[in-house]
Structure 1
Amino acid sequence: MHVAVVDYGMGNLHSVSKAVEHVAPHARVEVTSDPARVAGADRVVFPGQGAMPDCMREMDARGLRPAVLEAARSRPFLGICIGLQMLFERSDEGGVAGLALLPGAVRRFPAEAMVDAEGNKLKVPHIGWNRVKQAASHALWSGIEDGTRFYFVHSYFAQTGE
């Protein structure tokens, strides 16, 4: 199995590739900015750090958009951080259009709404470990208990309209 980690000049590429190698030791993991290598991969990972406008600009500058679009439509595709955000129609960050593979928009957390159940103001960006409650049954939750703790570092959320 060939896994392509998309190199668009930004992000934590090598730490992501090492993590993929750890969980899939028999896979051939390659960090690449070559659209043909992305197009030929069995699985694609698009990691990211930074700002959505920069991500989209750098992806286009490298000619990666067609290969990324096809990969996200046709095979297992993991978008991490900006790599997930770019799959939506648009983002509040820079008012930039995304790839529109998923309906909805990436929105900044509204400061006035950032309070916990006791009324305490929450910080943005949100950084830390939190328990996640499963709102609905889904195959993605297979093997993960309700209330499992996950680590978050974000100022934005995906709003799908559902």
Structure 2
Amino acid sequence: MNRYETVKAYVYEQYARIANESLRIAAITHTSMVDTCITLLAITRSIPLERAKIAALFHDYAQYIDNCKHSEHARLSSLYAHQYLAQTKNYKVIEIDDICFAIAQHSRKDQFDSPLCECLKDADILARFLEDPTKPLTGIRKQRLIDSLADIND
């Protein structure tokens, strides 16, 4: 998990530089919550923990660093993650591809992808729920939350 700690330090260092205080707080709070949620889900689902936690760290990166349009944040976050992970030379291509694919797909909650993708999608929904349990969930998001809680409970 040393590689994870290095990525975590990098991401949070970048977030600390965000000038807009409310955006900086949102970045740190949401990323931390998704990281916590994905830990529970990855262990429960036998997903490689380090990959899952790294995907969680980068999943909304562009949204917070660039304050980009929400419709673009998953793709751009994936590109940032790919650039960073490749530059470190600490990851195999298959690891980078798995992590970046999950990040790129995490906003597509209505479709099913790789196990890591599904874990990240569900961790994102669970984190949003825990951040504001009064916000109503419907359809696939509600079902994902119910299934995630059942997985954790098993």
Task: Provide TM-score, normalisation by structure 1.
Answer: 0.27
Ranked by relative contact order (alpha carbons within 8 Å, sequence separation 6 or more), the top structure is 2
Q: Which has the higher helix share?
A: 2
